[in-house]
Amino acid sequence: MQTVNPLLQLDDLIDYAAIRPEHAEPAVRHWMAQAEKALEAAESPQTPAEWSALEPLGEAFGDLGRAWGAVGHLQSVADSPQLRDAFNRLLPDVTALYLRASQSQPLYQKYKAIEAGAGFAALSPVQQRIVKREIRDFVLSGAELPEEKRAAVTRIQQELSALSQKFSENLLDATNAFEFVTEDPKDLAGIPEETLSLYRESARAAGRGGWRVTLQFPSYLPAMQYCENRAVREKLYRAFATRAAEFDGGRFDNTPLIRRILELRAEEASLLGFPTYAHLSLATKMAHDPEEVIRFLLDLAQQSRPAALRDAAEIDAFAREKLGIERVEAWDRAFAAEKLREARYSYSDAEARRYFTENAVFRGLFKTVETLFGIEIRPAAASVWHPDVKYFQVFRQGTPIAAFYADLYARAGKRSGAWMDGERTRAYRRGKLQTPVAYLVTNFAKPAPGRPATLTHDEVTTLFHEFGHTLHHLLTAQTEAEVSGINGVEWDAVECPSQFLENFAWDRTVMKSITAHAETGEAIPDALFSKMLAAKNFQSGAASVRQVEFALFDMRLHAGFDAQSDDPMALLDAVRREVAVVLPPAWNRFPQSFSHIFAGGYAAGYYSYKWAEVLSADAFEAFEEEGILNPETGRRFLKEILERGSSRDAMENFVAFRGRKPSIEALLRQTGILAK
């Protein structure tokens, strides 16, 4: 019997339960062919340079994006060797097609002609914005340059991506090259049993006896926090802090790569007409120029400094009095901090999680956002990829406006972590308004049959975070895909709604509404809540200046730094002298493992972590001022931020909501650095 390929049916919800791995390739190839045809039509001289003439292109790429997104999603949550093979066969071709569209000269000329044409004034402001942004993106990939310079930009980008790859490989190899194996239990005194069993397993897997500690984070971190043997901590720290550097013969040395990466980035920026790479990076972000970011970071450093000094002094005093450590070295700090935390703020995670029963958490979360944003969330039936997956519809005044799938539990074949992805975007599709759909994915432990599912508070905040992204995608009021939901939102602003909603999971009123003890049904007691809050803010001053140190180093490295003559290590030392309250040993080689900026997407963008935290804390403070569940404040946040997508600059959204530009004080208050 010939069955229909579910991935070819995109008019309504996708029939996920019916998808088999062999459906992926033919369906995606079909939508690729459609997109290619639409691209050729758009490029053709016969096609007029008009907005409406390019609409089929957007729709065709929208269909491809949705089918390809569904395949990628299934690969993340229900992997199988056949599906992975199909995905990997498709990946290079899909990537090539998107690249071809983003570099098409005829398409670029068409957008320019639309902007210059008589019809441009008749377009809506949002459509005009989209045209301008398309042009900007073409320009940023070198479309305005003469052929030979454009080729140079492409060459630079290729070399940069190879260098980033090499940087990661070096770091990985350097991380893997180290092991500490011991058969003497005294070496590992103080380390919790569950970590020790991890070490034993690691030794066994390596064909050794005893315990094996590596520099992988889940292995390294607990050793630094709990190991009572100071010499062992020093040995581990030294290995960790000098990874991928010139020591040990420099087998995996990233130093020359750093220099070359910075050189190439500066060259790319200059070819594209920017004074520095930082200016190029910020061209698509909410922050305007490096000076604005540097001012922001220095302000944050200065305001966090007294708290950071207090935090450091507190550790020093505790280490001296209780641990007999006269001078706290870099390898003592995490250990002493953990001991101090236990002494002062400890509560049992196991005890706390009995209050966060899954039903209570979801009921409270839904109630919160229903009150704030005037919506109603109801479970509904839909075809899903796994029996545990739930489906919900979102209503406003009885009308369905959006929907989402919630895939909550960890299982084999599912990638770890938590995330939100758009399944389809709110937009007109062939004249009909398509409502948005999202995937909400977490990896909570599935409860044993007959027992209530409970979450740790960490998991609760993760859920709130991802639900903030989900609402940003679902509650959009936009009808052009390019600006709808989270599409096109500035990189340093896109975490605002997620971190914003996370703050609610730390509010006393909301905390009461999301807790119901697994046995007694009681809401969380005040004493436990206060302890959790204090533990959250423990050492927050120290953490704040450390993040500023990394972000300031990143920004200065990409703004006016001369990669040929200046030394990155000397720059980092200068930044540390400027903002740090605790200095690491001189042989610490942090830049060589700073993969966020050398092998991730965070170059001249590391500040965005703090930037988005400031936006979300300040937005949340409006609710603290006007009433935590005040529907009017909620509607204003909905109207000025969530509904806008990228149809307006993120800064304008923020100012429209808050009545002024963001200020850093709210974050400092929320993290306990300033008094409330």
Catalytic (active-site) positions: 466
Instruction: Tell me which residues in 45-104 interact with Zn ion (CB under 5 A).
Output: none
When the beta carbons of 107 and 494 are compared against Zn ion, the nearer one is 494
Give, for 411, the enclosing helix (H) or strand (E). Answer: none
| Residue, CB closest to Zn ion | 498
Rounded to a whole number of angstroms, the minimum distance from the CB of residue 456 to Zn ion is 18
When the beta carbons of 62 and 468 are compared against Zn ion, the nearer one is 468
When the beta carbons of 337 and 612 are compared against Zn ion, the nearer one is 612
| Angstrom distance (rounded) from CA 572 to CA 581 | 14
Stretch that binds Zn ion, among 86-94, 321-329, 357-365, 498-506 (CB under 5 A): 498-506
Rounded to a whole number of angstroms, the minimum distance from the CB of residue 58 to Zn ion is 26
Rounded to a whole number of angstroms, the minimum distance from the CB of residue 159 to Zn ion is 31
Cβ 86 vs Cβ 24: under 8 Å? yes
Rounded to a whole number of angstroms, the minimum distance from the CB of residue 257 to Zn ion is 29
Three-class HEC string of 131-162: HHHHHHHHHHCCCCCCHHHHHHHHHHHHHHHH
Direct distance between the N- and C-terminal alpha carbons of the chain, in angstroms, rounded to an integer: 68
Instruction: Tell me which residues in 204-223 interact with Zn ion (CB under 5 A).
Output: none
Secondary structure letter of residue 454 according to DSSP: B
Q: How many residues bind Zn ion (CB under 5 A)?
A: 2
Residues forming beta bridges with residue 429, ordered by sequence position: 432
When the beta carbons of 254 and 487 are compared against Zn ion, the nearer one is 487
Secondary structure letter of residue 473 according to DSSP: H
Rounded to a whole number of angstroms, the minimum distance from the CB of residue 460 to Zn ion is 15
Three-class HEC string of 167-212: HHHHHHHHHHHCCEEECCHHHHCCCCHHHHHHHHHHHHHCCCCCEE
When the beta carbons of 214 and 498 are compared against Zn ion, the nearer one is 498
Stretch that binds Zn ion, among 57-65, 92-100, 471-479, 493-501 (CB under 5 A): 493-501
Rounded to a whole number of angstroms, the minimum distance from the CB of residue 654 to Zn ion is 17
Rounded to a whole number of angstroms, the minimum distance from the CB of residue 610 to Zn ion is 14
**Residue 71 burial (10 A CB sphere; 0-12, 13-18, 19+):** buried
CA distances (Å), 481 to each of 290, 440, 579, in order?
31, 20, 43
DSSP notation for 13-26? S--GGG--HHHHHH
Q: Name the phi and psi angles at 72, rounded to 5.
A: -60, -40
Residues forming beta bridges with residue 434, ordered by sequence position: 427
**Among the listed residues 358, 616, 655, the one whose alpha carbon sits nearest the alpha carbon of residue 501:** 616
When the beta carbons of 470 and 647 are compared against Zn ion, the nearer one is 470
When the beta carbons of 421 and 480 are compared against Zn ion, the nearer one is 421
Rounded to a whole number of angstroms, the minimum distance from the CB of residue 420 to Zn ion is 8
Stretch that binds Zn ion, among 36-44, 406-414, 487-495, 612-620 (CB under 5 A): 487-495
When the beta carbons of 495 and 621 are compared against Zn ion, the nearer one is 495
CA distances (Å), 106 to each of 111, 131, 567, in order?
9, 15, 43
**Among the listed residues 460, 502, 490, the one whose alpha carbon sits nearest the alpha carbon of residue 619:** 502
When the beta carbons of 5 and 498 are compared against Zn ion, the nearer one is 498
Neighbours of 617 (CB within 10 A): 24
CA distances (Å), 159 to each of 95, 162, 163, 211, 264, in order?
18, 5, 6, 41, 8
How many residues does the structure list for the chain?
Answer: 676
Instruction: Tell me which residues in 319-378 interact with Zn ion (CB under 5 A).
Output: none
Stretch that binds Zn ion, among 68-76, 249-257, 284-292, 489-497 (CB under 5 A): 489-497
The strand pair at 399-409 and 211-213 is best described as unpaired
Rounded to a whole number of angstroms, the minimum distance from the CB of residue 497 to Zn ion is 9
Stretch that binds Zn ion, among 83-91, 114-122, 130-138, 492-500 (CB under 5 A): 492-500
Stretch that binds Zn ion, among 68-76, 282-290, 490-498, 551-559 (CB under 5 A): 490-498
| Angstrom distance (rounded) from CA 140 to CA 577 | 36
- The 3-state DSSP class for residue 425 equals coil
State yes or no: residue 478 binds Zn ion (CB under 5 A).
no
- The 3-state DSSP class for residue 438 equals strand
Neighbours of 661 (CB within 10 A): 9
DSSP notation for 545-608? HHHHHHHHHHHHHTSS--TTT--HHHHHHHHHHHH-SSPPPTT--GGGG-HHHHTSS-TTTTTH
Stretch that binds Zn ion, among 265-273, 476-484, 496-504, 632-640 (CB under 5 A): 496-504
Rounded to a whole number of angstroms, the minimum distance from the CB of residue 469 to Zn ion is 6
Among 5, 498, 515, 646, binds Zn ion (CB under 5 A): 498
Instruction: Tell me which residues in 254-293 interact with Zn ion (CB under 5 A).
Output: none
| Residue indicated by tokens 């899903």 | 384
When the beta carbons of 459 and 495 are compared against Zn ion, the nearer one is 495
Contact positions toward Zn ion, by CB under 5 A? 495, 498
